[in-house]
Amino acid sequence: MKFKGTITHLSQKGLGVVKNIQNNISYFVYGTWPGDSGEFEVIDKPLNNKKFAYAKLLHLTQPSAYRQIPACPYASLEENACTGCPWMIADYTSQLEQKRSRFVYAMKRVGFDTASLAIGSIHPAPQLYGYRNRCQVKTDGVKLGFVSENSYQIVPINDCMVLNEKCRNLLKITRQSLPNSAWHADSGHNWQLIELDDDMQADEIRSNQKRPFKQGNTAQNEWMQAWLREKLANNPQPGKVVELFCGSGNFTQIIAESDCTAIIAYESEAGAIQALKARNLAKVMPQTVDLFDPVVWKKLKKNVSDAETLVLDPPRAGLKKHQGFFTSFIALKNIYYISCNPETFARDAWFFSQNGWTISDIQLVDLFPHTPHVEALAVFTKA
């Protein structure tokens, strides 16, 4: 079915939304921006919702005032195009506005009066290209590239302009090693993964070997570290600190610089904890624990009940386990929450607010230009 319409807004996943007045169904459309008018066609993509479905843009009759031609040759509306930077179709100012809107909507949806939260503008990325310090490519031994969300196939690429120079060179070296029979997909998979980051050397390139997690934008990560350093410096008595999802110590090192008395750093990935232990940071006690265990807070109560400060930087799932949390963290005075997902942050923030905590500061940060991703840094204080 074909229909005409105008993109009115973006979904929480960053897709354009257009309503078909013929059937009163709203459609999610890849590669569109608010203000785009055109002809659309419904596509057969499963979505278990009677009010929403998927469509594709056939013809753009009137482009949005914010639309621009993507700088990357691999970004297009073709089915086999790379979908890694879907917002490259819009100017950067508009991208930042949409990211802030995404966060505000998530907070409103759970129940917050966002007018009272003083959510300021997003701290922009200093580089719009060449900023990424890591990536994950896929290969079947013949093709190497990223998997398209539209076709679920490998999109072969020769270069990636959002990667920094070190990663672009590693990508080039990886491509030169094709074809490679050792990288052929096995019977249970369509491809193998290869992780590249600017901490590795060319002789370390391996298939199906995960690299330790690190924030993907070095300049913005340093800015976030500076934000946390300043917040902790303004805390006259941080006391004992518990850090959840500490990884290999990206923020632990900042906490260790503060006037805190002790730090217990928790992480589920044993390799990350080993890396953190090797750093020998003062006052830090690294511990491996499953932070998504349903009874994790009961297990940790003895060690965390006297903590006055909490720092957490969870994955996209957020804090997730709420039951027993505040009956274990009974001495908390300050919470510093660093989030990569507005929806799970809003859920957790609402949980905090229902237990007597208020948000005293929110700062949004753009780590990944040309994507819907937005990072949130927040301070919670006991009401």
Catalytic positions: 340
Phi, psi at residue 166, to the nearest 5°? -65, -45
Q: Tokens 């997690």 label which residue?
A: 213
> Is residue 97 within a helix (H) or strand (E), and if so which, with residue range?
helix 92-110
Which residue, among 367, 101, 336, has the nearest Cα to 227 in the 3D structure? 336
Give the residue among 46, 124, 190 at the shortest CA–CA distance from 369.
124
- Residue where the block lists tokens 């959840």: 244
Here the tokens at position 284 are 């830090």
Token digits for 179? 């074809």
User: What is the sign of the dihedral through the CA atoms of 216, 220, 226 and 231?
Assistant: negative
For 210, which DSSP code? P
Q: CA-CA distance, 238 to 134, in Å (whole number)?
A: 33
